[in-house]
């Protein structure tokens, strides 16, 4: 411990990188706990669908949705996504899972649902691609 100041002085760049990574890690963990929705694995989503009749909303572009989507999922075009829609308002108390092709954009839609008063909102980590990687069934064509 007595040589720590000497080490820091000689390796300032490395110490700053390490500190920056630590701050980034803590910020990421904090954001995960405060975002308000849960990120599910394909196995967790399967259980939620089977046990609690979760509504799966796919916000992928229509072409991607038609190529491959989770069976029973409902497509809503990103430009037409409206949490106040009367059809969605009927399922406010049901579990709702938002998915997209890669899992990168579904979080924004999940936040919009939470803001509109939905109580049980989740996303699928990794999106439809992760579902496919888990070798779970996909459906092709229109909804």
CATH number of the domain that residue 87 is part of: 3.40.250.10
Residue 139 has a pLDDT of 92
Residue 141 lies in a domain: no
Looking at the structure, tell me whether residues 19 and 41 fall in a common domain.
no
Give the domain range for residue 27: 4-33
Looking at the structure, tell me whether residues 82 and 43 fall in a common domain.
yes
Cα distance between residue 124 and residue 127, in whole Å: 5
Residue 67 lies in a domain: yes
Cα distance between residue 1 and residue 87, in whole Å: 64
Cα distance between residue 75 and residue 60, in whole Å: 8
Task: Indicate the DSSP class of residue 64.
Answer: H
Looking at the structure, tell me whether residues 46 and 13 fall in a common domain.
no
Looking at the structure, tell me whether residues 61 and 80 fall in a common domain.
yes
CA dihedral of 44, 131, 73, 67, whole degrees rounded to 10 = 180
Residue 90 has a pLDDT of 82
Tell me: the pLDDT tens digits for 59-115? Answer: 999 999 999 999 999 999 888 888 888 778 788 889 999 999 998 889 999 999 999
Residue 66 has a pLDDT of 93
Residue 82 lies in a domain: yes
Tell me: the pLDDT tens digits for 2-47? Answer: 888 888 889 999 999 999 999 988 887 776 666 778 899 999 999 9
Cα distance between residue 127 and residue 58, in whole Å: 9
**Cα–Cα nearest to 60, from 105, 91, 97, 95:** 105
pTM (two decimals): 0.77
Residue 120: pLDDT band (50, 70, 90) is very high
Q: What is the number of domains present in the chain?
A: 2
Residue 79 has a pLDDT of 87
């Amino acid at each position: 411990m007595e040589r720590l100041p000497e080490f820091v002085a000689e390796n300032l760049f490395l110490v700053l990188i390490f500190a920056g990574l630590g701050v980034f890690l803590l910020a990421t963990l904090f954001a995960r706990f405060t975002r308000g929705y849960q990120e599910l694995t394909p196995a967790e989503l399967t259980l939620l669908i089977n046990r609690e009749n979760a509504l799966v909303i796919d916000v992928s572009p229509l072409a991607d949705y038609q190529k491959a989507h989770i069976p029973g999922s409902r497509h809503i075009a990103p430009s037409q996504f409206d949490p106040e829609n009367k059809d969605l308002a009927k399922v406010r108390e049901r579990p709702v899972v938002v998915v997209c092709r890669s899992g990168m954009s579904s979080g924004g839609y999940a936040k919009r649902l939470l803001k509109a008063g939905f109580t049980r909102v989740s996303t699928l980590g990794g999106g439809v691609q992760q579902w496919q990687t888990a070798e779970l069934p996909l459906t092709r064509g229109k909804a």
